[in-house]
Structure 1
């Protein structure tokens, strides 16, 4: 299949997923009722999500290190692993939003505006990271390395920020779970 023919299939799929994922998460966050069909306690999801985010951040940094050293195979493996952990995170996050009511932040003083700044930037960048990651992965896996490099320059810092701030949000919220 030629590059153009592949793009005619892949690009619309990436665009559709990039629109649907944030909408689905937003809808699930605003459900009038929760359905804890797995019977998992509230605190379990946030800890699991923080671990996934921390591991994703480590894998992203490893991938960056490997590509700087010219080790494309280890770079690819690190980035695919980071993508898989992010996909697991997304599925788990959706399940957690179906299962549990949102927990309000109870912090006061200077921590409150700091927490909300981190949370708001985390949420905003989480929405735009979906198409960035999907396009970056697609360009890398289809060996369109110049296009991959151009978008990866944006994807990497945003994805790393989202992963790290995901852990920070958990640490801020930990006393309230």
Structure 2
């Protein structure tokens, strides 16, 4: 399948639509997208026309209407639409965060434990997280890894949280008899 080249703005709007749609599973109003990406609703409506032309978005008429991402939107953003997402729980200041899953944990600077960072790829908005917030991600489905740390940065375009790692643990394998 050919990849569709999107502008940064289109990609940001499409990702916001995908995230908001993922939280509600219903059509998303242009105003909600505008608020999420910090643009005015008119700009969003214009962008939606081009995204509809690219078959990435469908309009839903009526009072409950708005926009929905198409399957092609997920392909374009390279998001695997999993039937049962292997959701890795996320806690924020000790509270379990609903509506946000960790899709991937990327570890960097493993050779320098004092500089160790983790990038958490989230499905769901990173807007609610702020520098210095305490975050815990895990346990992951296979290795049961849990990463604890504080937010050191975030990228709202790609929904990545950067954590300064303060602790990592994976339970020791229990020997199978």
TM-score (norm 2): 0.24
Point out the structure with the larger strand share: 2
Point out the structure with the larger helix share: 1
